[in-house]
Chains A and B, each alone.
Chain A
Amino acid sequence: MILQALADYYERKRTVDPDATPEWGFEHREIPFVIVLSEEGEFLNIEDTRDTEAGKKKGRRFSVPRGEKRTSGIRANLLWDKPDYGLGFVAEGKKEEDGEKKAKKAKPTEEEVVTTEEKIRVHAILRGILGDLVLPERVLIDDRLTVCNYVLDTVGQVICKIVNEGRTFWVLDNKDKARRRRLRPPQEVHKDAEALKEVHKDAEALKRRVRYLLRVREQHRAFRKRIEEVFGPDPEDAGLRAMLAFLRAGEHDAVWKHSTWPEVASTTGAYVGFRLSGDTRLICERPEVLSGIRAAVDSGAAALAQCLVTGETGPIAALHPAIKGVRGAQSSGANIVSFNLSAFRTHSRKRGANAPVSERAAFAYTTALNFLLHRDSPTNAHVGGTSVVFWAEKGNEIRNLAGALFGDNQEVLDDPDRGVDRLKAVYAAPAQGAPPAGTSEERFYVLGLAPNAARLAIRFWRPTTVERFAAVVLRHFEDVDVVRPEKAARYPSVAALLRATVPGRRKENRDGNIPPNLAGAVVDAILTGQPYPRHLLVAAIQRARAERNVSPDRAAIIKGCLIRVARHSANDPEVSVAIDEGNHNIGYLLGRLFATLEKVQRRANPKVKSGIRERYYGAASTTPTAVFPTLLKLKNHHLAKIENPGAVVNFERLLGTILEGVESFPTVLSLPDQGHFALGYYHQRQSFFTKSNKAEEVSHA
């Protein structure tokens, strides 16, 4: 069901908006540099397609043939790749080491042709090490890699011998068999260990360098071969001919000399594409080329079976493409469908055979999911440790809102109320008799994903309809609505609510402290209209106690939890958005009382740092009887210090009203009542703020 819904979404998206997602066999990739070629294959120019975006330079996205999964073997992409594949670029320094590691892992190829250029380069390196000991004519590297290796090894050993014995030597060539026999591995003890190490290091470096050079050459050759394999050695298309001519030329000095080249060399992820001069598109985007690529796409090597997504028989994917964009998972991507350990397999089947999904279906659902999870897309939200994805059957506006309402979308941060207001405008319309926008039965899907190393666990899956989704979201916002300071945003995102329940100074730190199941459970509760998880109420109250501050978000959570619990058991919730003078819940009244007492103290001693709130909030909300008598005694002293008699009267009146409802101070407050305490405290303080604002306005007027 899940994969099927995603695959369907991909198909629909292709018809509606073909440029948004790649087609089967292709991918969208950022290609920062484009090599422009003439029709004869001459190098003309390097173009930099990058745009500075949010401080980072990003290349333009192109639709290119799907990239190969590469580990340590040599596999070239088609018509685009990194500079070592595409141009045969040999890097200095660190890149070389990486190349060397890969070369070691890869199996050596049998046929190797070392060009003159290589010989000269290696020779130059050798000369640098050995000084004048090497006679140029005798230089060594013959036409076979194996010999090359042998010679390099031998050179290393011979160098040792030289240092020890201080005599000249001939570096042999293949015909010099007699001499070759004389060069045996040195058995003498080497006295000058230090100098020897130096020489060894250089010899090693030389070996590495040569291996790297040869590997790059192989990569570049593979790049050209791939084109020849797919399109034939003599294609008709002008772009392909230009490319092949360019690649066959071998020497790309013009490229290295170009002014933009140093940029390319120093950028990581510097993929190069190719373009014919006069064209606007890349060679791999030319129509004739595209048809050739499409024809070559299906592999045909996979086993056939019934796909459990589409129901049709087809080649089954052994490995599914990775899904990126889930926060907390591996950066190289994770999989929903994976069977990497023996304990996960059925009947000892390998890999994808455990759950047959055809290659096309695998591509479809992973592409859809990657698209929905794309960083800037409003269709996903990160709530706590869970990534939530929303999509609708047709392109429905509501799914763009959904991401903002749940997570930290930038749009929300700029104008938080816009999302909810829009939602209300569209979907509350039925209440006023206006017809709802869009068909009400249109399906809407919500999928929650959580990372587990290289795998993704599905937290929840809720297929619903647009109408129902709008209704539950609005219900949620209604439930957590509390009066807030004037300029603050009215509607908090779910992610913000969760962060209010955990410790941590900065947003990122707090995100890490949210219990993993909680986020998923909260979103699930929102979607089903069920009471929020109990832990949420506990966490909010505890955090309020620990920080001795009932923030608006915490008050919102508490109110929401209490309302839903009451609704579920058909009780009167006894909670409201703003202060409710008629509420006689003991917790609520005590909260109001505490807020008032605090205000009195602050009025009397404005400069107090550690007032009753800092010292007594915890005890007051849990064990009132231990604390309130003392506080009530204290208030008399505070009241005495206040100069304004009118204020004193007001305070006393307010206290009187509140205390009317309080028969006695309970020994303990239950958790829900602690929630009421927090709410009462919050409401009362907010009402003080608005009152004082009004007073200020009046005095300024």
Chain B
Amino acid sequence: MNARNGGEGYGVAVHVWGEYACFTRPEMKVERVSYDVPTPSAARGILESILWKPAIEWRVRIIEVLKPIRWATIRRNEVGRQGSWKLAKQAMNRGQLADGIVVEEDRQQRAALVLRDVAYVIHAEFLMTGHAGLEDNEGKFLDMFRRRVEKGQCYRRPYLGTREFAAHFGPVPEGYEAISGIQDLGWMFYDFDYSTAPPGDRFFRAELREGRIEVPPPDSLEVRS
């Protein structure tokens, strides 16, 4: 694993690929439209599915796109209502059936414009947090991550944007090539801002250069209100 990221922490890289991906644009959430490339938030999700402890905090630095960007449109039947958390809790406590959602009553057909046949290399680093104990050090987690990637271990299946598009992951192959070309992607979703309740959004100016997106660190460019 090399740290081509130029960041401060210890760096890892992992190869991620899948048949479909949908990194949903926030403004087109209902009839989903994906971004052309993964969001830093999605990349973080993948890393956290493979390895996460309270002692570390992932920072995505670079996302590389290995395959040409191709699209597919799908239409799915979903539902319009959210299940009630309160009723579910009640059911748990009482041991009784709670509220259910009858699809026929709440059906919503939603179209989605998703990515097809994708492959990425994610370069990231992690920083130690305040929860790190005396035995925690960077080397330990680096090793853990490397072993898990090689074995294909994860806490939960990593996914490309939405849960139904599961991701495959593995060590970075030798001599891979990213796509070429320069594309300005405008303002792209960076990640959630968990300092407020409900969490807010943060955006950054994304540019795809020769297949690479440089993800700025959280405290820099993007503004939020």
Chain A positions near chain B (C-beta within 8 angstroms): 1-4, 304-306, 308-311, 313, 336-339, 341-349, 354-357, 450, 452, 455-461, 516-517, 520-521, 524
Contact = CB atoms under 8 A, between A and B. Distances in A.
Contact of B111 (A311, A339, A457): A457
Contact of A460 (B73, B78, B201, B203): B73
A521 B82 contact: no
B222 to A, nearest CB: 8
Contacts of A517: 73, 75
A339 B29 contact: yes
Contacts of A457: 31, 110-111, 113
A341 B108 contact: yes
A535 B134 CA distance: 63
Interface in B19-67: 25-31, 33, 35-36
A306 B28 CA distance: 17
B198 interface: yes
A4 B203 CA distance: 14
Contacts of B79: 343
B199 A347 contact: yes
Nearest to A336: B28
A352 B202 CA distance: 15
A191 to B, nearest CB: 48
Given A337-B27, A341-B80, A343-B81, A308 B225 contact: no
Given A343-B81, A456-B31, A517-B75, A348 B26 contact: no
A342 B80 contact: yes
Interface in B185-219: 185-187, 189, 198-203, 205
B81 A341 contact: yes
B39 to A, nearest CB: 12
B31 A520 contact: no
Given A305-B200, A342-B80, A460-B71, A311 B29 contact: no
B102 interface: no
Interface of B: 25-31, 33, 35-36, 71, 73, 75, 78-82, 108-111, 113, 185-187, 189, 198-203, 205, 222-225
B27 A308 contact: yes
A339 B30 contact: yes
B26 A308 contact: yes
Contact of B80 (A343, A349, A459): A343
A354 B186 contact: no
A4 B27 contact: no
A337 B28 contact: yes
Contacts of B189: 308
5 contacts: A2-B28, A306-B225, A308-B27, A309-B27, A311-B223
A308 B199 CA distance: 16
Contacts, number: 107
Given A313-B223, A460-B73, 9 more contacts: A1-B35, A308-B27, A339-B30, A342-B82, A355-B26, A452-B111, A457-B111, A458-B33, A460-B113
Contacts of A347: 198-199
A342 B81 contact: yes
Contacts of B35: 1
Given A343-B80, A517-B75, A306 B31 contact: no
Nearest to A517: B73
A604 B78 CA distance: 62
Contacts of B33: 2, 458, 461
A356 B81 contact: no
Contacts of A344: 29-30, 80
A354 B30 CA distance: 11
Contacts of A309: 27, 187
Given A460-B71, A517-B73, A356 B201 contact: yes
Given A342-B81, A517-B73, A306 B199 contact: no
Contacts of A342: 80-82
Nearest to B199: A347
B225 A304 contact: yes
- The 9 A-B pairs at the shortest CB distance, nearest first, are namely A457-B31, A457-B111, A347-B198, A355-B27, A341-B80, A355-B26, A342-B82, A305-B225, A1-B186
A452 B109 contact: yes
A306 B201 contact: yes
A336 B29 CA distance: 9
A338 B223 contact: no
B185 to A, nearest CB: 6
Contacts of B185: 1
Contacts of B223: 306, 311, 313
Nearest to A449: B31
Contacts of A313: 223, 225
A459 B82 contact: no
B202 A458 contact: no
Contacts of B198: 347-349
Given A308-B189, A313-B225, A343-B78, A3 B73 contact: no
B108 A458 contact: no
A308 B187 contact: yes
Contacts of B224: 305-306
A354 B29 contact: yes
B93 to A, nearest CB: 23
B205 A311 contact: yes
A520 B73 contact: yes
Contacts of A3: 27
A255 B78 CA distance: 55
B161 to A, nearest CB: 14
A365 to B, nearest CB: 10
Contacts of B28: 2, 336-337, 355, 458
A505 B200 CA distance: 54
Nearest to B101: A343
Nearest to A309: B187
Contacts of B225: 304-306, 313
A455 B81 CA distance: 17
A355 B189 CA distance: 10
A346 B82 CA distance: 11
Residue among A341, A349, A520 with max Cβ neighbours from chain B (10 Å): A341
A452 B31 contact: yes
A308 B30 contact: no
Contact of A461 (B78, B113, B199): B113
B26 A311 contact: no
B21 to A, nearest CB: 16
A4 B26 contact: no
A338 B108 CA distance: 14
A343 B77 CA distance: 13
A662 B154 CA distance: 61
A343 B200 contact: no
Nearest to A342: B82
Nearest to B200: A305
Given A313-B225, A342-B81, A450-B111, A357 B30 contact: no
B104 to A, nearest CB: 15
B111 to A, nearest CB: 4
A354 B189 CA distance: 12
B87 to A, nearest CB: 14
Most chain A beta-carbon contacts within 10 A, residue among B30, B71, B109: B30
A456 B30 CA distance: 9
A455 B27 contact: no
A521 B31 CA distance: 17
B26 A455 contact: no
Nearest to A3: B27
Nearest to A520: B73
A114 B29 CA distance: 51
